[in-house]
Structures are given as C-alpha cells and as structure tokens.
Amino acid sequence: MKAQTMNKDQVKGTLKDAAGQVQETAGKVIGSTGQQLKGIKKQVEGQAQKAVGDIKEVVKDISKR
C-alpha cells in the first residue's frame, strides 16, 4: 500500500481550517461575534485551499497514467 503525501496547498489549507475552528470556538467562549466570523472565514479559506491542493493531486495522478 502506497502512503499518501499531501502537497503544500493541502497542508496549509488543513492547518488554516483547523486554526479557524479554534478561533471560532474561542470567539464563542468569549462572546465575540467578530472572532467567530473571522474563524469561519479562515475555515472557508482553508477548505478552499485544500480543495485546490486536492485538484492538483488528481491532475498529477492522471498525468502519471
């Protein structure tokens, strides 16, 4: 079984999504709607960046065939 490696967009996107989740939760805890919204925005950006990385991997896999 071949190990799956992540490209830089997948890694950065995953980390940004996780950071956004933490920021959103922190905003809920302290009662800051602004922080919650910033966290949600960061999550969306991270998910989009990860999707770009996923697409790059698919293209790379197809080109190897």
2 is a domain residue: no
Average pLDDT over residues 26-51: 98
For residue 33, what pLDDT is reported? 98
31 domain residue, yes or no: yes
Counting the structural domains of the chain, the total is 1
The pTM assigned to this predicted structure is 0.86
Q: What are the DSSP calls for 1-65, one per residue? A: -PPPP--HHHHHHHHHHHHHHHHHHHHHHHT-HHHHHHHHHHHHHHHHHHHHHHHHHHHHHHHT-
- Whether 1 maps to a domain, the answer reads no
Identify whether 49 is part of a domain: yes
Domain that holds residue 49: 8-63
Kindly state whether residue 3 falls inside one of the protein's structural domains: no
Asked if residue 17 lies in contact with residue 54, where contact means CB atoms within 8 angstroms, the answer is no
Give me the pLDDT at residue 18, please: 98
